Amino acid sequence: MRIIFKIARAELRNMFYSPVAWFVIFVFYAFAAAVYFLPQAGVMRMQDVFQSNKPDWIGFEKGLGNVLIIPMLMTVLSFLYLFIPLLTMGVVNREFNSGTIRLLYSSPVRTREIILGKYLGMVCFNVIFLLGFVLILATASVNIQHADTSWFLSVLMGLFLLVNTYTAIGLFISCLTQYQLVAAVLTFGAFFLLSATSGMGQQYDLVRDVTRAVSLSGKVQFMLMGLITSRDVIYFILIIFLFLMFAMIRIKSTQESKKWTVTFSRYALCLLLVLALGYLSSRPGYISYLDVTRNKINTLHPAVQDVLKKMDGSPVTVTLYTNLFYPKASAGLPQERNRYIWDFWERYIRFYPNLSFKYEYYYSMKEGDSSFYQRYPGKSIEEIAAIEAEILGIRKSLFKKAAEMENYADLKKEDFRMLMELEYKGKKAFLSVYNDKDVWPMQDDVAGTIMRLVRSKEVTVNFLTGHFERDPMRFTPRDYGNNTTHVYIRAALVNKGVDVDTVSVSDKPVPGNTDLLVIADPRSEYNEAELNHINRYIEEGGNALIFTEPSKLFILDPVLKKIGVQVEPGTLVHPNAHEMPHILVSKFTKPGNYMAKEKAMEYFQRYGERGGQITSEGTGNIIASPIDGFKVEAVITEPGHPNTWLEKGILVVDSAAPKFNPAEGDVKRDEYIIAVKMSRMINNKEQRIVVAADADFMSSKRISHGNIGHTFYSWGLNNMYPVYANYPIPEDRFLTISEKTAKRQIQLYVYGIPAFILLAATILLVRRKRK
């Protein structure tokens, strides 16, 4: 060990007397400092502007780690590999060029001591090489309020392992040639090859697993994001071990006169050992995880973890059905399988390792779809499939023919779209794949599908039908389909684990499977039998959402009176130059903002700001009295305003602006109540009802203008669905320095310290030259 330390010390001394090493330190530090401190000054100016315009501004909601640190890391990482070959290109071959290798051979120094000593010296230099980066992160942790310092440590760990891995590769290549320039070029090539192997032969299972195990590509990304895994740490250790062993074998071969097969077998044995260990260490269930971020953003949301705990450990089979004609089919092909497993499913495998994956590839068109025939006129479906397969770079024989898919009745019902099917203990449920840039479902989608597998009964929202109510099965601007049953839209309720259907009570009561009844803007009156069925459902404790319209109050009045609610005749108006007078943007009250965990509402719950808001299109004012044990709370209100009133006369929205006319009964109030929530205990359970004086704000046209999402459905389903997976916003939202300080830091870190490095290097090298 003493000899190793001596060689390391000598190697470190040689590095400090090398102009190339000083040049690398200077360029790397100056580059890293510039990509952090220059943008920091711009962010500081933005912060001053925001705070001067809004003193209670909450800060940069994405977090300054995302705004400043991550862009710097990605930029530095993309250029880091350029520096190491310049350091390693002469580590070993200069011993051959100067003849000192013969002295080492003749001395009682073993080959492994030579290699380990030189590598240790380079590791010590790498510590110094990264000190500038440590200084930048240390300054950032002081400049940023509530900086996530544990994440910074993970970043440094990742960069340190990556740089030392690069060094081990460069050291081995330095053993292969006596020419330093050739060694540098070969090192660049090796870095490229190890990064590119993840894209080679990905259509073959074994090749895909092996190349992922040895590829450099993406291995440090998790650590840079604050997630340390045993797989990645072991990977770097194995690659370092592999190339150090290669270097020892190479040096040893120059001292021996054995057949080339002996040397080759040594290389092969080391490679096979590393491949086997890398493969085993990356298997699901054998990986340890440590998420060091403050908000655990790399870990499944606790609510989703709770859903996974509902399963008993039995196998879950995930079958991915990829339709060649689906717009995002490329994401499901074998070439992308590693991304599918490790980028999407890994966070679930971490908490439930007993997941197995199957793949079905086919081509078929949904009924009535002629778009491909128009794109390829005169071609048969088989010919079209051959063309599409060639475009995607995959063999057509992998895909089942369209005729074979006719037997898949469930897929046919789903329009032969690309999706996943989860099977658990004999029960199956579909999980949607989306036609957008993210493709794969979010955590709440996965949680909803798993809930379908583990619950004893289905959860159903039934919409009343038969009187021209708003329809959850249609996607017109007036109807509710986009937010309920549109499987291609992420926000649809059916993608969150809830079934949505329509029911009629003309000849039978509300079905017993109804977890939530929605009565949305009927256009004709219910008969006595239908009213009795509705009232009986409410009297027995059923949860309901009731949306009415000012022009049709008489239709639901018999139902609302039974629960102490009256919608005052008239339409709420607010004439202005920007919108029609009956269109209002109204906010949720504090009780309303605690109805669900929608992102905007959770923001209000945590920080007391923002909250839910809706855009109504002709609403009235609700007057509610607590009767029959109901507790009544306003959840959406419109504050009184001199130019806001309840218009009792005839309202013409596409003509001249209405005017307040008390003679016609127009009324101004201090506050107008647009929606109320009502709750009571009945039959040993809590009954929940929402009444709103407008039905348009929940329509496909208006729902996207607000931010309430599934608030009312969630509250009506006792907050069991959907499973919300919103993370808190980062705490590192403010810089603690002034704009003047930010400019001084640029002068010091971007110009001053690099100048000092150059001066120190010049003095040291000149003095060395004189000696």
Question: How far apart, in whole angstroms, are the C-alpha atoms of residue 246 and residue 190?
Answer: 14
The answer on pLDDT for 578 being more than 70 is yes
Residue 203, pLDDT > 70, answer no
CA distance 619 to 574: 11
Mean pLDDT (the chain, rounded) = 88
C-alpha–C-alpha distance, residues 134 and 137, integer Å: 5
CA pseudo-torsion sign 531, 532, 537, 541: positive
In a domain, 722, yes or no: no
Amino acid at the residue 765:
L
Q: Considering the domain boundaries, does residue 727 fall inside one?
A: no
Number of domains the chain contains: 3
* Over residues 556-563, mean pLDDT: 94
Same domain flag for 433 and 470 = no
Q: Over 80: is that where the pLDDT of 568 sits? A: yes
Question: Are 521 and 632 members of one domain?
Answer: yes
In whole angstroms, give the CA distance from residue 228 to residue 155. Answer: 10
In this model, does residue 217 exceed pLDDT 80?
A: no
Mean predicted confidence (pLDDT) in 522-545: 95
Same domain, 536 and 664: yes
For residues 633 and 661, membership in a common domain is answered with: yes
Confirm whether 498 is domain-assigned.
yes
| pLDDT for the residue 56 | 80
Domain containing residue 398 = 302-454
Residues 21 and 89 in one domain: yes
- Which of 101-115, 679-693, 723-737, 750-764 is the least confident region? 101-115
CB 691 within 8 A of CB 560: yes
Q: Which of 454, 476, 497 is the last residue of a domain?
A: 454
Asked whether residue 485 falls in the same domain as residue 421, the answer is: no
Please report whether residue 44 resides in a domain: yes
Report pLDDT digits (tens) over 702-759. 988 888 999 999 999 999 999 999 999 899 999 999 989 999 999 999 999 999 999 9
- Predicted confidence at residue 93, as pLDDT, reads 62
* 311-323 average pLDDT score: 94
| Percentage of the chain modeled with pLDDT above 70 | 94
Hey, how many other C-beta atoms are within 10 angstroms of the C-beta on 294? 19
The answer on 620 and 490 residing in a single domain is: yes
Under the banding of pLDDT at 50, 70 and 90, the label for residue 98 is low
- Ranges 85-99, 424-438, 635-649: which has the least confidence: 85-99
Domain end marker among 403, 419, 454: 454
Give me the residues paired with residue 169 across strands: none
Provide CB contacts within 8 A for 111, sequence distance 6+.
248, 251, 252, 255
23, 137: one domain: yes
pLDDT tens digit string along 635-665? 999 999 989 999 888 787 777 788 888 888 8
Q: Are residues 377 and 436 in the same domain?
A: yes
pLDDT for position 215: 67
CATH assignment of the domain containing 504: 3.40.50
Q: Specify the pLDDT at position 9.
A: 87
Question: Are 86 and 184 contacting, i.e. CB atoms less than 8 angstroms apart?
Answer: yes
Q: What is the pLDDT of residue 115?
A: 85
Same domain, 218 and 309: no
Residue 214, pLDDT above cutoff 70: no
Same domain, 370 and 284: no
The least confident of 107-116, 258-267, 396-405, 641-650 is 107-116
> Do the domain assignments include residue 728?
no
Domain end marker among 428, 454, 480:
454
* Pairing outcome for strands 514-520 and 544-547: parallel
| 3-state per-residue secondary structure call for 280-344 | HHCCCCCCCEEECCCCCCCCCCHHHHHHHCCCCCCCEEEEEEEECCCCCHHHHCHHHHHHHHHHH
Whether residue 721 lies inside any domain: the answer is no
Residue 297 in any domain: the answer is no
Pair (141, 213) in one structural domain: yes
In this structure, is residue 731 part of a structural domain?
A: no
